[in-house]
Amino acid sequence: MRSVPWLLVLCLVTSGEDPPNGPEPVDPAFHALVGGDVFVRPGEVRRGWTVLIRDGKIAAVSPNPVPAGARIWDCKGCTIHAAFLDAYAPVQTDATLDAQGLRKLGFGAAVHAPAKGNWRGAARLVSLADKPAEYKKDVYYACGFDRKKRGKDGFPTSEMGAIAVLRQGLYDKKTKLPLAFDTENELQALRSARIATAFERTALLLGSGLEFRRLHAIAATGLPVVLPLRFPPAPDVASVSTRESVDLRELMTWEQAPTTARRLDDAGVTVALTAAKLDRKNFARNLGEAIRHGLKKDRALAMLTTHPAKLLGIDKELGTLDPGKRANIAVRSSPSLFAPDTPFRAVWIDGKRYELQAPKPKLDGEWDLGARGKLVWKKGKVTRDGKAAREHTVRGQHVHMVFQGPLVLSGIVAGDTIEGHGIEADGRRFSWRATRKAIGETAEPKTKPKTSKTKADPVPETFGYPFGPYARAALPKMRHVRFVGATVWTSGPAGIVTDGEVEIRDGKIVYVGPRRKGQLGAATIDVSGRHITPGIVDCHSHTGISGGVNDSGQAVTAEVRIGDVTNPDSISWYRQLAAGVTTVNNLHGSANPIGGQNQVNKIRWGVRDPNGMHFLAAPPGIKFALGENVKQSNWGDEYKTRYPQTRMGVEALIRDRFHAAQAYARRNDVDKVDLELEALAEILAGERLIHCHSYRQDEILMLCRVARDFGFRIGTFQHVLEGYKVADAIKDAAIGGSAFSDWWAYKVEVQDAIPYNGALMRAVGVLVSFNSDSDELARRLNLEAAKAVKYGGVPRAEAFKFVTINPAIQLGVGDRIGSLENGKDADLAIWSGDPLSVYTHCVATWIDGREYWSENTDGEARKTIAAERRRLIAKVLRSPRAKQDRKKQTDGDVPTRIWWMEKFRAARCGVCGGAR
Amino acid sequence: MRLAVCFLLAVSGALAQDLTPKAPPQRRTVGIVNATIHPVSGPTIKQGYVVFTKGRITAVGAGPLKAGDGIEIIDGRGKHVYPGFIAPYTQLGLREIGAVRATRDMNEVGAMTPEAYAAVAVNPDSTLLPVTRSNGVLVFGVFPRGGLIPGRASVMRTDGWTWEDMAVRRDAGLVVAWPGNKKAKDTHTLAHAFAEAAAYLRKRKSDPKLRVDVRKEAFEPSLARKRPVFFLADTYDQITGALAFARRNRLRAVIVGGRDAPLCADLLKRTNTPILIRSIHRFPKRADADFDETYRLPAKLEAAGLTWCLASGERIPNERNLPYAAGRACAYGLDRDAAIRAITLSAAKVLGVDKDLGSIEKGKAATLFICNGDPLEIPTKVEAAWIDGRRINLSNKQKVLFEKYKAKYGLK
């Protein structure tokens, strides 16, 4: 129903010519473009042929004489090809398409696409004429990952929230059109592809320009990419301090961005280039850069004409200069395709000509003024007998000059002569005439301008994963190894074994115990003096989560999934590996009583597919939260209206949602899917573990009672700083409690937090772990365990379980990881000494029987990084493009939106600004 | 009886409260004997003694102590004696609970508030103090925060009936947050403020009737070089900028932060500028930087021969973890003696209180503690502590709650 008025509007726009105000003009609509180099299609050029246009269509491209009656357009020295087609021209609500701006770049048609929101709307292909014609409606449905800035603006405020909105929309059968995902980076491209695959939908990617970072994975999706020609500005390396702060990844991105189009093309991806998402002034320059970086001109032409035409299903009408097609043609006043310095002279749209650049008089050369000397025009400057003009202007064919004297000369250019009048200093008028010396007579021979080299310096063609520092070309090999001689902390029944041995094979542990005698064939590594422990398990982490840790837009966000936004590029992963951490529980933040679904990851640094980090054996979980954060106590005075604002309301809301989930599970219409209730129903069915942020004893006990009433077992209480006050209740209701070792006093609800909490809960029988909730603290979890020894006297081996087997059991993977026992995953850390000692550091970290980190490999990587930094910084300092960028950037304190950098900053609980 | 105390504490412990009496002045001479003494200023004494009277150390030595009459002898067999740890940079006492505005007293309104000095707002009954001192952190530098000149730092004891009792030095120096390299205007503002203050002070010298300007008055000790200026500066531009400013205005600079100090170690050395490392438990400045860049900062400064000390980098309530930051630096290249020095004698030097504090030497304040092992190791326990010879109560709210809930579960 809603679309009907729209259609009416469209009809008016497209067919409704205004009645002429005066006599009706008659357009003969018959034109001949004569003498240019005609690119009929990419790769097929007809030099000096004629393009005939009749009634808005291409009538012929031929070498034949021009038929009578056609208006002749002299195109000598020009290139002629199909006008470009922009497959993505985002338009904000209420705004109109900037047809003129796009025409200037050589475009003749564009997809008018809504630009805001998650489900943005259907896009239509229109001509870029002043009165646009609709070529095709409903070419695709535009989708995006937009998020609200603040919680009070509504849902979603996170990327995972946006993904949930898209998935729910697909369940709700929002559209049947192909989906076009507007992506901000390469990871979103892969996330888009996953959504499309899950729902078996055709899709295309409105790209980011960063696809080269995960090229192969993106190529493997098979989705076409509408690629913006945008390149990040050069990093500032022009001072001692800015050079210190520039990141290698930023440098590499700067260097590689111009290769994206070529790389995608080589990888077999269908690419269409778009002028969206960039400063249009840079379009021609950047296209030139892409060509300098190896993109073939024919391919570039295809990406601007035939590819988008095919992609949009309009290739019968647009894209080439074949007879019968629409006369959408671009004419450039240069004999070379894509000469970045020469603008387009005209664009034809449906046979109507739009002049873009009136031909300028060519003034360069030597002009003989007779008795008044000699004029020399060079690069837009004019001299008379060697003296520069004080001022001069060129307006159309008129030129005006003022020379010393003052002597004023005005004239009109006609080919190789200028004629006009002048005024002497004493006011005498005179007439003058200048003739240009024929080329060849001029003193200087014409040389090619040196400004742009036709080929860029070679750039590295492979860079491994993740893109940036510490990348690896392939995952480390799975090895068969015997570690002998170390003190082995098994975190299992065997306790601590001195002079022990651990053997791993095929990613599993095959022997743990005292050192055996004899050679077993496997490579033996002598680790005498070292300590081996299970890899550390962090039960509460926000590492490597793209686009927001919280979705604070609503009180219940059970439909969002941390696993949707895994960012394997975060350098925090690498740093945690360097601290013996192998598995982390990635949790949603604590902004809502019922938060999002968690993701347990193994730190497989260097995976190709971002989701390769997911630990598939882990049962699904979900974040709940209680207390100050969810009742928005510390959010500021604007946040006082969202339910709940009290701990009473928290309980009521949670119970209400579980009742809703019960009703949902009983529903008749099983085709109707509600992602939020789906997750809650899984909790009730015992298929999803709750990990609940909690502090005070009252709220902890409350959730224990809710769980009892609804008949499920809680996974863990997180933080659980007053857990020691109700340890007996926790023991019965939950798998365990995962606490901070010694944090307290940062909020009112943690005044009674005590470092003896872990020891007390353990003494009562609760399974206890210590976690980090911080990318920094995660780097010393072994020492957090030592605090259980200090406060409450937990035996050393038991204390170490707080960061190994106990969190593993809490996450439902105690049978796979967390202890060194036969048959378990070969996830282990090797330490320089006692892992509970401050003097100890991690020496190596293994996951799945692969050495993911070691002091040695780290040392090698440092050398590589230093060399790459040097090379790239030198390159930036040499680069003319970088120099231009630097000039533009000197606005001092004005922050620019850094779209090309994934944030490396530590992920933090956004609700409380770090105070959990 | 014990239980009664517990309940009393628990019931009234809603906000900042330290409900135990403060330590009374030292009455009897104390001799700790048979212990391993770590004077810091000199070599470790394996089997030695420390004697202190009326709050001052009167003897330190090796071997047995000839006990005089009236001396309280404490057998330190198997134990270690260290000078009290000094947390050189914290807001302890100025902020009780971060999330509660009413408990925050560290950031005065205005970009430049040198008149604000920390000591006067330190709450002696803060619940955080007993927890802090129970791990051997007996002295702390307390710094106002916010703006270009947040105020003046103070040096405090972790025990005392009033802030006056606690204060070792009320005005330890001006704090200046050196602007980042993009804020040239702020640099200019600072230069102007110092020049104005100097002009005011000159005028006042010649005209004592001039009305007192409390703000400009506050520059006096630093402009007269009686006190240092603590420049908060991390980046290369900040450090070099602050040093140049100090030279121009003839100030004694201390660099607080010092992340990029290794990049200009030569300059710091030449100007004899001490560095207060605010934290090693932070992220390296770049993603491609060495993962242990911040952990190795102390070792780098030590190798460069600079004077430096170390702050915990913890949140205010966890200042007790100061020794573990020092220990962590040892895992990444720092000599252990240097690590101890960084949180004792060097910290005292940087704060300007080394005449009295920071080492176990004859004549210095008897501010020291006994522990059962290496205090940089987490499981080690502090068993007794003295501030100016006053025996400190090492109990705290957390220990009381521990006992209370052991009782709930019938645990021993």
Domain boundaries, given as residue ranges, for chain B: 21-83+358-394, 85-357
Element (H, E) at A144: strand A134-144
Question: Is there a contact between A748 and B100 if contact means CB atoms under 8 Å apart?
Answer: yes
Q: Is B41 on the interface with A (CB under 8 A)?
A: no
Residue B7 has a pLDDT of: 36
Instruction: State residue B9 phi and psi, 5-degree precision.
Output: -65, -45
CA separation for the pair A550, A630 (Å, rounded):
11
Contact predicate A623/A679, CB 8 Å: no
For A521-558, how does the pLDDT look when each residue is reduced to its tens digit (9 = 90+)?
668 999 999 999 999 999 999 999 999 999 988 999 99
Candidates B82, B81, B54, B84; CA nearest to B70 is B54
Does residue A3 carry a pLDDT above 50? no
CA separation for the pair B105, A392 (Å, rounded):
67
Rg of chain A (C-alpha set): 35
Please tell me whether the interface predicted TM-score (ipTM) of this complex is above 0.90: yes
User: Which of B378, B398, B401 is the best substitution to test chain A (most A C-beta atoms within 10 A)?
Assistant: B378
Residues 830-869 of A with CB under 8 A from B: 832, 836-841, 858, 862, 865, 869
* Two tokens, residue A83: 């006008």
CA separation for the pair B198, B28 (Å, rounded):
49
Residue A521 has a pLDDT of: 64
Q: Which CATH number fits domain B85-357: 3.90.79.10, 3.20.20.70, 2.30.110.10, 3.20.20.140?
A: 3.20.20.140
Question: Is there a contact between B408 and A755 if contact means CB atoms under 8 Å apart?
Answer: no
Residue A581 has a pLDDT of: 98
Confidence of residue A33 (pLDDT cuts 50, 70, 90): very high
For B289-329, how does the pLDDT look when each residue is reduced to its tens digit (9 = 90+)?
999 999 999 999 999 999 999 999 999 999 999 999 999 99
Summarize chain A as % helix, strand, coil (round to 5).
Answer: 30, 30, 45
Name the minimum distance, in Å, from the CA of B365 to any CA of chain A.
29
Residue A617 has a pLDDT of: 97
CA separation for the pair A821, A3 (Å, rounded):
64
Does residue A896 carry a pLDDT above 70? no
CA separation for the pair A290, B107 (Å, rounded):
52
Residue A887 has a pLDDT of: 61
Name the minimum distance, in Å, from the CA of B185 to any CA of chain A.
11
Candidates B94, B242, B89, B109; CA nearest to B172 is B89
Residues in A closer than 8 angstroms to B181, CB to CB, are 241-242
Contact predicate A467/A492, CB 8 Å: no
* Two tokens, residue B34: 């048979």
Q: Is A470 on the interface with B (CB under 8 A)?
A: yes
Number of Cβ atoms within 10 Å of the Cβ of B202: 11
Confidence of residue A17 (pLDDT cuts 50, 70, 90): low
Q: Is B12 on the interface with A (CB under 8 A)?
A: no
B19 residue type, one letter: L
Residue A888 has a pLDDT of: 59
A169 residue type, one letter: G
Tell me, what DSSP letter sits at residue B95?
A: B
Residues in B closer than 8 angstroms to A745, CB to CB, are 96-98, 127-128, 316-317
Q: Is A575 on the interface with B (CB under 8 A)?
A: yes
Contact predicate A56/A327, CB 8 Å: yes
Burial of A362 (0-12, 13-18, 19+ CB in 10 A): exposed
B42 residue type, one letter: G
Does residue A452 carry a pLDDT above 90? no
Residues in B closer than 8 angstroms to A840, CB to CB, are 331
Question: Is there a contact between B286 and A634 if contact means CB atoms under 8 Å apart?
Answer: no
Residues in B closer than 8 angstroms to A764, CB to CB, are 409, 411
- Between the alpha carbon of residue B249 and those of residues A21, A85, B222, B228, B400, the distances in Å are 78, 64, 10, 12, 52
Question: Is there a contact between B288 and A470 if contact means CB atoms under 8 Å apart?
Answer: yes
Name the minimum distance, in Å, from the CA of B168 to any CA of chain A.
26
Residue A77 has a pLDDT of: 87
Name the minimum distance, in Å, from the CA of B405 to any CA of chain A.
7
Summarize chain B as % helix, strand, coil (round to 5).
Answer: 30, 25, 45
Residue A440 has a pLDDT of: 46
Residues in B closer than 8 angstroms to A783, CB to CB, are 324, 328, 378
Q: Is B279 left (phi over 0), alpha (psi -120 to 50) or beta?
A: beta
Confidence of residue A66 (pLDDT cuts 50, 70, 90): very high
Contact predicate B130/B397, CB 8 Å: yes
Write the DSSP assignment of B25-74 as a string of letters.
PP-S-EEEEEEEE--SSS--EEEEEEEEETTEEEEEEES-----TT-EEE
In Å, how far from its chain's centre is CA A704?
Answer: 41
**Region A699-716: what's the mean pLDDT?**
98
Residue B287's closest chain A neighbor by CA?
A: A571
Burial of B305 (0-12, 13-18, 19+ CB in 10 A): exposed
* Two tokens, residue A253: 């991105």
CA separation for the pair A682, A336 (Å, rounded):
63
Contacts of A871 (CB under 8 A, 6+ apart): none
Residues 208-227 of B with CB under 8 A from A: none
Q: Which residue has the higher pLDDT, B153 or A339?
A: B153
Count CA atoms closer than 13 A to A4's CA, side-chain side.
Answer: 2
CA separation for the pair B118, B143 (Å, rounded):
6
Confidence of residue A453 (pLDDT cuts 50, 70, 90): low
Which range has the worst mean pLDDT, A97-101, A154-158, A509-513, B4-8?
B4-8
Q: Is A748 on the interface with B (CB under 8 A)?
A: yes
End-to-end CA distance of chain B: 17
Is there a cis peptide before residue B284, judged by omega within 30 degrees of 0? no
Contacts of A219 (CB under 8 A, 6+ apart): A264, A267, A268, A269
Contact predicate A846/A854, CB 8 Å: no
Number of Cβ atoms within 10 Å of the Cβ of A655: 15
Residue A569 has a pLDDT of: 94
* Two tokens, residue A485: 């001689």
Residue A629's closest chain B neighbor by CA?
A: B99
For A734-767, how does the pLDDT look when each residue is reduced to its tens digit (9 = 90+)?
999 999 999 999 999 999 999 999 999 999 999 9
Same fold, B21-83+358-394 and B85-357: no
B178 residue type, one letter: W
Number of Cβ atoms within 10 Å of the Cβ of A749: 22
Q: Is B278 on the interface with A (CB under 8 A)?
A: no
Element (H, E) at B350: helix B345-351
Of B286, B331, B405, the CB nearest to A838: B331
How many DSSP H helices and E strands does chain A contain?
22, 42
CA separation for the pair A663, A673 (Å, rounded):
13
Of A575, A724, A836, the CB nearest to B291: A575
Confidence of residue A16 (pLDDT cuts 50, 70, 90): low
CA separation for the pair A92, A146 (Å, rounded):
13
Question: Is there a contact between B97 and A763 if contact means CB atoms under 8 Å apart?
Answer: no
Question: Is there a contact between B98 and A747 if contact means CB atoms under 8 Å apart?
Answer: yes
CA separation for the pair B179, B172 (Å, rounded):
22
Name the minimum distance, in Å, from the CA of A575 to any CA of chain B.
6
CA separation for the pair B334, B327 (Å, rounded):
9
Instruction: State residue B225 phi and psi, 5-degree precision.
Output: 65, 15
Question: Is there a contact between A744 and B317 if contact means CB atoms under 8 Å apart?
Answer: yes
Question: Is there a contact between B287 and A904 if contact means CB atoms under 8 Å apart?
Answer: yes
Residue B13 has a pLDDT of: 38
CA separation for the pair A210, A817 (Å, rounded):
36
Does residue A646 carry a pLDDT above 80? yes
Question: Is there a contact between B398 and A754 if contact means CB atoms under 8 Å apart?
Answer: yes
Residue A886 has a pLDDT of: 65
Question: Is there a contact between B260 and A244 if contact means CB atoms under 8 Å apart?
Answer: yes
Q: Is A499 left (phi over 0), alpha (psi -120 to 50) or beta?
A: left
Of A724, A746, A865, the CB nearest to B315: A746
CA separation for the pair A182, A440 (Å, rounded):
55
pTM to 2 decimal places = 0.91
For A123-141, how does the pLDDT look when each residue is reduced to its tens digit (9 = 90+)?
999 999 999 999 999 999 9
Does residue A775 carry a pLDDT above 60? yes
User: Which of B11, B267, B288 is the best substitution to test chain A (most A C-beta atoms within 10 A)?
Assistant: B288
Residues in B closer than 8 angstroms to A901, CB to CB, are none
Residues in B closer than 8 angstroms to A241, CB to CB, are 181, 235-237, 260
Burial of A875 (0-12, 13-18, 19+ CB in 10 A): middle
Name the minimum distance, in Å, from the CA of A343 to any CA of chain B.
38
Percent of chain A whose predicted confidence (pLDDT) is above 90 = 74
- Between the alpha carbon of residue B226 and those of residues B223, B265, B278, B349, the distances in Å are 8, 25, 23, 14
For A163-222, how does the pLDDT look when each residue is reduced to its tens digit (9 = 90+)?
999 999 999 999 999 999 999 999 999 999 999 999 999 999 999 999 999 999 999 999
Contact predicate A167/A675, CB 8 Å: yes
For A575-596, how does the pLDDT look when each residue is reduced to its tens digit (9 = 90+)?
999 999 999 999 999 999 999 9
Tell me, what DSSP letter sits at residue A785?
A: H
Residues in A closer than 8 angstroms to B291, CB to CB, are 574-575, 578, 779, 858
Residues in A closer than 8 angstroms to B242, CB to CB, are none
Q: Is B380 on the interface with A (CB under 8 A)?
A: yes
Which range has the worst mean pLDDT, A39-53, A113-127, A389-403, A544-558?
A389-403
Which range has the worst mean pLDDT, A242-251, A709-718, A772-781, B87-96?
A242-251
Instruction: Identify the architecture of domain B21-83+358-394 in CATH.
Output: Roll (2.30)
Confidence of residue A155 (pLDDT cuts 50, 70, 90): very high
Residue B183's closest chain A neighbor by CA?
A: A893
Candidates A548, A586, A472; CA nearest to A903 is A548
Residues in B closer than 8 angstroms to A725, CB to CB, are 405, 408
Q: Which segments of chain B have a pLDDT < 50? A: 1-15
Question: Is there a contact between A746 and B411 if contact means CB atoms under 8 Å apart?
Answer: no
Residue B411's closest chain A neighbor by CA?
A: A763
CA separation for the pair A197, B185 (Å, rounded):
54
Confidence of residue A10 (pLDDT cuts 50, 70, 90): very low
